[in-house]
Amino acid sequence: MAAPLLINTDFERAIARNKRNTLILISTLTAISAVLGYVLGWAWGVINEIWSLPASQVERLTAGDILRDLFLGAPRPEAILGALALIVFGIVWGLVTLYMGASILSSFVGSRDANPDDPVERRFIDVVEEMAIAAGLPRPRVMVVDTPALNAFASGYSPEHAMVTATSGILQACTREELQGVIGHEMSHVADYDVRYATVVAAMAGVIVLIQHVLLDIMRWTAWTGGPRERERDGGGAARGALTLVVLLIVMVFAIAAPLAAKLVQLAISRQREYLADATSVKLTRNPVGLIHALQRLQQSDTALARPDSPVSALCIAPVRMSFENMFATHPPLEDRIQRLENLGGVSVPPSPSPEPPPGHHGPWG
């Protein structure tokens, strides 16, 4: 069967647009980190001042004064230091995760090198090599996770240090044509440096979530202890406690909103790049049918390689099922991706065939 003609597709422009959008989104995530750090530093400075001022001054302060200090007052030095500290920490943590990300993820999912003596895994190695040649890249390290779940993902700092990982389930379930579509999708992530972006974004979003947990722990501790002991020094304990509670409530609002905003940014990056990876897979294979059939298989199968909140989940070709799917899913709906591929190829897609045994394999699939 001849490969369908691709229509109305400017891959170079799509790649350039996606990279620009990703840089904008990463900048947005950095800004979210800065805001959270600023509020955290501001809260530290304000609480120290509340518990240092004489009682007569503290009792004249109101919640409105606290809000004006945050939004209209001159930036406190503690707030500026907090913003800078969280930005630097996020970037440093992102770089550490970036360079060690592939090894960390490999250990996390328990992957191993593909066995060239196994016919199924030999076919996997051959397909990875074919797609690497088509993409003009060195062959990534080929890894397998022993699980019946159907999924695959790419990881690594650069094309020269990349890994392509697939589950034993997807290797057994897919035909060679379908496997080419899946691996073409993952090679797109390698070629377009998607994995580099995704790793940094996931790391920075993780820092924001970590700070959220720390802030909530501090708030619980403060509520339990009733505030600093200095409240007993000169009276005004009730006023100090009330103002401290206002500050902590403001921090709580930002502590809840910042991770939510970071998650939405992270998901926006992941979603838009899945569409591009699907299109680039078709560019490499010149055949949308294989990937369409593979995605149809994934629709009907268990894809739970990792928990929905795992960093691996956002890298996988198929989403892990979760609640609030449309808002918080790391991938576009499979139905939408399949429809786009059908429009891209301009063909009607026949039903998916049964997987054929690889050369040298005898007996049923198991």
Tell me the residue type at 21: N
Q: Are 195 and 189 in contact (CB under 8 A)?
A: yes
> Which range among 23-27, 177-181, 291-295 shows the weakest confidence by mean pLDDT?
23-27
On the question of pLDDT at 225 being above 60, the answer is: no
d(CA 26, CA 98): 14
Identify the weakest region by mean pLDDT among 59-73, 291-305, 345-359: 345-359
What is the distance between the alpha carbons of residues 278 and 287, in angstroms, rounded to a whole number?
11
From 78, 121, 130, 186, active-site residue? 186
pLDDT mean over 96-124: 87
User: What is the C-alpha to C-alpha distance for residues 34 and 270, in angstroms, rounded to an integer?
Assistant: 22
Residue 325 known to be catalytic: no
- Measured between alpha carbons, how far is residue 110 from residues 143, 145, 295, 324 in Å? 10, 6, 24, 28
Task: Please give the average per-residue pLDDT across 244-266, as a whole number.
Answer: 82
Q: What is the mean pLDDT of residues 101-125?
A: 90
At 316, is the pLDDT very low, low, confident or very high (cuts 50, 70, 90)?
A: confident
pTM above 0.85, yes or no: no
pLDDT, tens digit (0-9, with 9 covering 90-100), for 46-74: 998 998 888 888 888 899 999 999 999 89
- C-alpha distance from residue 144 to each of 67, 124, 176, 257 (Å): 54, 9, 16, 38
Is residue 209's pLDDT more than 50? yes
Q: What is residue 105's predicted lDDT score, i.e. its pLDDT?
A: 76
Compute the average pLDDT of residues 204-231.
Answer: 62
Percentage of residues in the chain with pLDDT exceeding 70?
71
Please check the confidence at residue 237 and state whether its pLDDT lies above 50.
yes
Q: What is the C-alpha R_g of the chain?
A: 26
* Residue with the larger pLDDT of the pair 58 and 310: 58
- C-alpha span between 314 and 311 (Å, rounded): 6
